[in-house]
């Protein structure tokens, strides 16, 4: 992960910023109370997202023994800060008769609520919803479909620092353990990302703090001043996106139609992808099928509706392309439904694509204009 340096140091000096340095103006975390530069500290957030990924497999073979995967410490702040916590964790087991438990250790119970979706096969999940009162709760996925096969577990959470002072931080640690005494693993390339989503504060700005204006000059800001323009230097952690200007339809049950091609990516770089397609099928007996191809080390899941209350699911397997969903009956003919995916991949020699195909030859399925995909490199 990039090394983040404070722009304003406690001595009052200013670190020079260039495009080659991974430094940013921490515009979110400027102090709102007291005076003096001591309140301006380093931040764990280079932008509203904090990313981490496993560089090597993490393995454990003892029941009720936690193996840490990733520790997320919420920074010390005077205000009450809120984050969403997310993860795509590749898990595997050496025995068909046992599953992989993913859990969360928290230093303060009230700061987190979360949900887990852990795979039992390529097309099914076990769910766990965890209250703020549970210290450590594990999803129990039951039987894995195959041994030594990597499937994606999805993690969604909400965290807060719930602090009244800046004297301590709150620790949240993702852990893995087996249901029985067999080897289970979380795979290299598993991704964790936490998004700053806002803060609550009744404190009013009372001190003067330095700020950059887009003209490059340095000024001070007091409680009575109004900021009309500001300068935020470049950061490499930016989302890229595409939206579908014209609907793409396909009536073939054998040849895929391309919806999105992700161009301009760096070969060998890992990317996080969120796909939101507006899907439609001309007949209730024909489902909407899709796949993601030509990347490598895929880890994640695709969803498409089979009714108004249930989706068809296709998980990744061992880093291969995420294959086409067999969606079954579409809820309503020509109805428009959300079809979505969340996955990571490594850019290979060919540009990755998202494609659709019909379940029944001659019946059209459509990715409707306005569909969108957004993605970003992660460290």
pLDDT, tens digit, for every residue of 54-66?
Answer: 889 999 888 778 8
Confidence of residue 121 (pLDDT cuts 50, 70, 90): confident
pLDDT the model gives residue 291: 96
Q: Could you tell me if 86 and 193 are in contact, meaning their C-beta atoms sit under 8 angstroms apart? A: yes
Residue 250, strand partner residues = 365
Question: Can you tell me which residue has the tokens 């959470």?
Answer: 157
Quote the pTM value: 0.69
Q: Could you tell me if 12 and 37 are in contact, meaning their C-beta atoms sit under 8 angstroms apart? A: yes
Has residue 230 got a pLDDT over 80? no
pLDDT the model gives residue 38: 29
Q: Could you tell me if 352 and 262 are in contact, meaning their C-beta atoms sit under 8 angstroms apart? A: yes
pLDDT the model gives residue 227: 42
Please list, in sequence order, all residues whose beta carbon lies within 8 angstroms of the beta carbon of residue 184, skipping any fewer than 6 positions away.
Answer: 59, 60, 61, 91, 92, 93, 94, 98, 100, 101, 176, 177, 178
More confident residue, 119 or 39: 119
User: 191-200 and 49-53: which strand pairing?
Assistant: antiparallel
pLDDT, tens digit, for every residue of 209-219?
Answer: 444 444 444 44
CB environment 121-140: b (16+ within 10 A), e (fewer): bbeebbebebeeebeebbbe
Q: Could you tell me if 193 and 201 are in contact, meaning their C-beta atoms sit under 8 angstroms apart? A: no
223/251 Cα distance (integer angstroms) = 62
* Phi and psi at residue 39, to the nearest 5°: -80, -15
Least confident of 160-164, 267-271, 286-290, 358-362: 160-164
364/287 Cα distance (integer angstroms) = 10
Please list, in sequence order, all residues whose beta carbon lies within 8 angstroms of the beta carbon of residue 8, skipping any fewer than 6 positions away.
Answer: 14, 37, 40, 210
Mapped onto helix, strand or coil, the DSSP state of residue 39 is: helix
pLDDT, tens digit, for every residue of 273-307?
Answer: 999 998 999 999 998 899 999 999 999 999 988 88
Has residue 256 got a pLDDT over 80? yes
Has residue 3 got a pLDDT over 80? no
% of the chain beyond a pLDDT of 70:
67
Q: Could you tell me if 193 and 271 are in contact, meaning their C-beta atoms sit under 8 angstroms apart? A: no
Q: Could you tell me if 151 and 144 are in contact, meaning their C-beta atoms sit under 8 angstroms apart? A: yes
Q: Between the CA of residue 31 and those of 40, 117, 222, 250, what are the distances in Å?
A: 6, 38, 12, 55
pLDDT the model gives residue 373: 92
Please list, in sequence order, all residues whose beta carbon lies within 8 angstroms of the beta carbon of residue 310, skipping any fewer than 6 positions away.
Answer: none
pLDDT, tens digit, for every residue of 335-360?
Answer: 888 899 999 999 999 999 999 999 99
Confidence of residue 41 (pLDDT cuts 50, 70, 90): very low
pLDDT the model gives residue 374: 87
The mean pLDDT of the chain is 74
Q: Could you tell me if 302 and 317 are in contact, meaning their C-beta atoms sit under 8 angstroms apart? A: no
pLDDT the model gives residue 5: 36
Most confident of 43-47, 143-147, 231-235: 143-147
341/366 Cα distance (integer angstroms) = 16
pLDDT the model gives residue 98: 72
pLDDT the model gives residue 326: 80
Residue ranges and CATH numbers for the domains of the chain are: 48-207 (2.60.120), 240-377 (2.60.120)
């Amino acid at each position: 992960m990039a090394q983040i340096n404070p722009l304003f140091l406690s001595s009052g000096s200013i670190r020079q910023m260039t495009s080659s340095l991974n430094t940013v103006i921490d515009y979110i975390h400027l102090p709102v109370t007291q005076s003096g530069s001591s309140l301006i500290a380093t931040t764990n957030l280079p932008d509203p997202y904090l990313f981490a990924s496993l560089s090597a497999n993490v393995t454990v073979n003892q029941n009720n023994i936690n193996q840490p995967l990733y520790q997320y410490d919420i920074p010390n702040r005077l205000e009450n800060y809120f984050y969403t916590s997310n993860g795509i964790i590749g898990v595997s087991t050496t025995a068909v008769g046992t599953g992989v438990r993913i859990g969360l250790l928290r230093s303060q119970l009230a700061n987190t609520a979360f949900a887990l979706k852990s795979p039992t096969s390529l097309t099914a999940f076990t769910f766990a919803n965890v209250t703020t009162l549970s210290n450590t709760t594990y999803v129990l996925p039951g039987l894995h479909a195959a041994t030594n096969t990597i499937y994606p577990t999805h993690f969604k959470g909400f965290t807060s620092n719930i602090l009244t002072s800046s004297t301590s931080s709150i620790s949240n640690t993702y852990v893995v353990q087996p249901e029985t005494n067999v080897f289970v693993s979380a795979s290299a390339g598993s991704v964790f990302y936490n998004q700053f989503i806002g803060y609550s504060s009744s404190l009013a700005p009372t001190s003067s703090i330095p700020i950059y204006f887009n003209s490059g000059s340095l000024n001070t800001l007091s409680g009575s001043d109004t900021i009309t323009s500001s300068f935020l230097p470049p950061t490499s952690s930016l989302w890229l996106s595409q939206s579908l200007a014209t609907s793409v339809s396909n009536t073939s049950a054998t040849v895929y139609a391309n919806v999105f091609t992700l161009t301009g990516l760096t070969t060998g770089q890992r990317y996080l992808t969120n796909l939101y397609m507006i899907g439609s099928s001309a007949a209730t007996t024909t489902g909407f099928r899709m796949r993601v191809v030509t990347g490598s080390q895929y880890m994640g899941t695709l969803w498409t509706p089979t009714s108004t209350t249930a989706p068809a699911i296709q998980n990744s397997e061992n880093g291969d392309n995420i294959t086409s969903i067999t969606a079954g009956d579409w809820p309503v003919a020509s109805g428009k439904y959300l079809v979505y995916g969340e996955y990571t991949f490594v850019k290979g020699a060919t540009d990755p694509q998202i494609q659709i195909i019909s379940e029944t030859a001659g019946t059209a399925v459509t990715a409707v204009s306005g569909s969108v995909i957004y993605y970003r490199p992660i460290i």
